[in-house]
Amino acid sequence: MIRWLMVRVRLDPWLVEFGPKAEESVEARDVEALLDTLEARHPRLRLKLRDETGAVRKFVRIFLDGEALEPAACLSTPLAPSASVDILHSIAGG
Q: What is the pTM of this model?
A: 0.89
Predicted pLDDT of residue 53: 94
**Domains of the chain (ranges, CATH numbers):** 5-89 (3.10.20.30)
Nearest-angstrom CA–CA distance, 70 and 35: 15
pLDDT band, very low/low/confident/very high, at 22 (cuts 50, 70, 90): confident
Flag whether pLDDT at 4 surpasses 70: no
First vs last Cα of the chain: how many Å apart? 49
Stretch 11-36: mean pLDDT: 93
Across 27-31, 58-62, 76-80, 89-93, least confident range: 89-93
Flag whether pLDDT at 1 surpasses 50: no
Residue whose C-alpha is closest to residue 49's, from 64, 35, 63, 69 = 35
pLDDT in tens, 31-72: 999 999 999 999 999 899 999 999 999 999 999 999 999 988
